[in-house]
Amino acid sequence: MSVFLPLLEYKVSVPLDVTAPWNVSLSQPQYQLVFYSLVVAGLALFAQFVKTWVSAGEVSSRYRPALYASMCICGVAFLSYVFLALKFDSGYQLSGGQYVPTAESVNSYLPRYMDWSVTVPLLMVEALAVSTLTGGRARQTRLVAMSAAFLMIFTGYLGAGVIGNGTSSSAMLLWGIISTVFFALLYVVLLGVLRASHEGMSPVAYLGYRNAVFLLLLVWVWYPIAYGIHNWTSGGTATTIIQVGFCAADIAAKAGFGAMIHKVAKVRTADDMN
Ligand X SMILES: CC1=C(/C=C/C(C)=C/C=C/C(C)=C/C=O)C(C)(C)CCC1
As a whole number of angstroms, the distance between CA 189 and CA 152 comes to 14
3-state secondary structure of 94: strand
In the complex, minimum distance from the CB of residue 246 to ligand X, in angstroms, rounded to a whole number: 8
Among 27, 170, 234, 237, binds Na ion (CB under 5 A): 234
- Ranges of beta strands (E only) in 133-233 are none
CA-based radius of gyration for the chain: 20
- Cα–Cα nearest to 63, from 210, 263, 241, 274: 263
> Using alpha carbons only, what angle is made at residue 134 by residues 133 and 137, rounded to the nearest 5 degrees?
80
- Cα–Cα nearest to 46, from 254, 232, 225: 254
Instruction: State the residues that interact with a copy of itself by CB under 8 A.
Output: 1-2, 5, 7-9, 27-30, 32-33, 36, 39-40, 43-44, 46-48, 50-51, 53-56, 58, 61, 64, 68-69, 71-73, 75-76, 79-80, 89, 94, 103, 107, 110-111, 113-115, 117-118, 122, 157, 161-165, 237, 240-241, 244-245, 248
Which among a copy of itself, Na ion, ligand X, none contacts residue 94 (Cβ within 5 to 8 A by kind)?
A: a copy of itself
In the complex, minimum distance from the CB of residue 195 to a copy of itself, in angstroms, rounded to a whole number: 27
Which among a copy of itself, ligand X, Na ion, none contacts residue 234 (Cβ within 5 to 8 A by kind)?
A: Na ion
Which among Na ion, ligand X, a copy of itself, none contacts residue 259 (Cβ within 5 to 8 A by kind)?
A: none
Q: Burial level of 246, CB count in 10 A (0-12/13-18/19+)?
A: buried
Which among Na ion, ligand X, a copy of itself, none contacts residue 176 (Cβ within 5 to 8 A by kind)?
A: ligand X
Residue 98's φ and ψ, nearest 5 degrees, are -120, 150
Binding of residue 31 to ligand X (CB under 6 A): no
Q: Burial level of 16, CB count in 10 A (0-12/13-18/19+)?
A: exposed
In the complex, minimum distance from the CB of residue 176 to ligand X, in angstroms, rounded to a whole number: 4
Binding of residue 179 to ligand X (CB under 6 A): yes
Q: Which amino acid, one-letter code, is at 206?
A: Y
- The residues, ordered by sequence, that sit 6+ positions from 86 with a Cβ below 8 Å of its Cβ are none
Residue 93's φ and ψ, nearest 5 degrees, are -125, 130
In the complex, minimum distance from the CB of residue 196 to ligand X, in angstroms, rounded to a whole number: 22
Binding of residue 220 to ligand X (CB under 6 A): yes
Residues that bind ligand X (CB under 6 A): 116, 119-120, 123, 152-153, 156, 176, 179-180, 183, 220, 223-224, 227, 250, 253-254
Residue ranges in contact with Na ion by CB under 5 A = 18-19, 89, 230, 234
